[in-house]
Structure 1
Amino acid sequence: MADNRIRILIADNNPDLCQTLLEFFEQQSDMTVVAVATDGEATMEALENIPVDVVILDVAMPRLDGMAVLERLRELELPVKPRVIVLSALGNENIMHRLTSLGADYYIVKPIDLAVLAQRIRQFGRLPDDKPTASEVRPPAAAPSAAVKNTEWLDLRISELLHKIGVPPHMKGYLYLREAVRMVLDDDRLLAGGLTKRLYPMVAEKYQSSAGGVEAAIRNVLTAWWERGDRQFQDIKGNGFSGPKWNKIPTNSAMIAELADIIRFETAERNSRIS
Structure 2
Amino acid sequence: MGNPIKLIIADDNLNICKTLQNHLQNQEGLSIVGVANNGIEALELILSQEPDLIILDLIMPHLDGLGVLERIIARTSATRPKVIMLTAFGQESLTHQAMTLGVDYFILKPFDLDILSKRIHSLTQNTPPVSGNAQFSSTAPIASTVRSGLNLNAEITTIMHQIGIPAHVKGYQYIRDAILMVVEDVSLLGAVTKELYPGIAKRYDTASTRVERGIRHAIELAWERGHTDTLKRIFGYSMNIERQKPTNSEFIALLSDKLRMMSTAS
Per the normalisation by structure 2, the TM-score is 0.50
* Structure having greater relative contact order (Cα 8 Å, sep ≥ 6): 2
